[in-house]
Copies of this chain bind each other. A is one copy, B any other.
Amino acid sequence: MTIADRRERDRQMRRDSIVEAAEKLFFSKGFAATTMDEIAEAAELSKGTIYLYYKNKEEIYVAIVHRGMQILIDLFRKAIASASTGMGKVKALGQAMFTFYERHPRHFTAVFYHHESPSVGPLDVDINDPVVKELVRDGDELYAFSADAIQGGIGDGTIRPGVDPIKTTYVLSSMILGLIRTVAVEEQFLRQKFNLTVKDLLQEAFDLIEHSLTAHR
């Protein structure tokens, strides 16, 4: 028992040290430009060994997406805990998304672009891979955080009763995400050409959103 257990623990540590090594390389020189030999060398393993732990290069990438997802979920948990009203939680979640981008830009990219990267045409991922399954569950969890916050906001009166929590979750998250993506691509351009900062844009968007969720008149 203990023996098989330790094996399993060792195996997990190896997997971790491989992603660790790969992550540094992918993030500094890109997925395509990183070779399996480089990953092997950085992980102090031979190339063959890497393949005992991951089916191929893409599967390592998926593991990195998964790590990013954990970071984001953690930020979301803290966001939810940081506010007491429904509306407050919704705003904190939006803020958390932006924090994720600011503090972990490469993970942000990995998480939100993996449907198209790395090799144009969706990453063809093995739906039976447990990591992939967990990724899907994690995605659901993310949406649930928001839907619950909206629902709570309707209960505590900080969000107007008419809004549909699910629909609104999708609309809001997509919008915030879209905004951050644009900013990610055009940040310096916006600053130079229009003297617009990221905060300006986000403030504008948050105002618009808050405005649309509260009752007026």
State whether the Cβ of A32 lies closer than 8 Å to any Cβ in chain B.
yes
CA of A114 to CA of B194, assembled, Å: 24
In the bound complex, residues from chain B placing their C-beta under 8 Å from that of A10 are none
A101 at the interface (CB under 8 A from B): no
What is the count of identical protomers in the complex? Answer: 2
Complex contacts, A137 vs chain B, CB 8 Å = none
Q: How far is the CB of A127 from chain B (nearest CB, A)?
A: 13
Cβ-defined partner of A201 (8 Å) among B170, B200, B217:
B170
Q: Which residues of A from 190 to 215 have beta carbons under 8 Å from B?
A: 190, 194, 196, 200-201, 204-205, 208-209, 211-212
What is the 8 Å Cβ interface bit string for chain A, positions 137-177, against chain B (1 contact, 0 not)? 00000000000000000000000000010111011011111
**Chain B contacts of A183 at CB under 8 A?**
174
> Any chain B CB within 8 A of the CB of A29?
yes
Q: Closest CB-CB distance, A96 to chain B, in whole Å?
A: 16
Chain B min CB distance to A155 (Å): 20
The answer to whether B113 and A31 have CB atoms under 8 Å apart is: no
Are A166 and B31 touching (Cβ within 8 A)?
Answer: no
Q: How many residues of A contact B (CB 8 A)?
A: 47
Residues of chain A having any CB pair with chain B under 8 Å: 26, 29-33, 61, 109, 113, 115-121, 164, 166-168, 170-171, 173-179, 181-183, 185-186, 190, 194, 196, 200-201, 204-205, 208-209, 211-212, 216-217
A-B contact pairs, 22 of them (CB 8 A): A30-B119, A30-B121, A31-B120, A33-B121, A61-B120, A113-B120, A116-B116, A117-B117, A117-B118, A118-B120, A167-B201, A168-B204, A170-B182, A171-B201, A171-B204, A171-B208, A174-B175, A174-B181, A177-B182, A178-B178, A211-B212, A216-B216
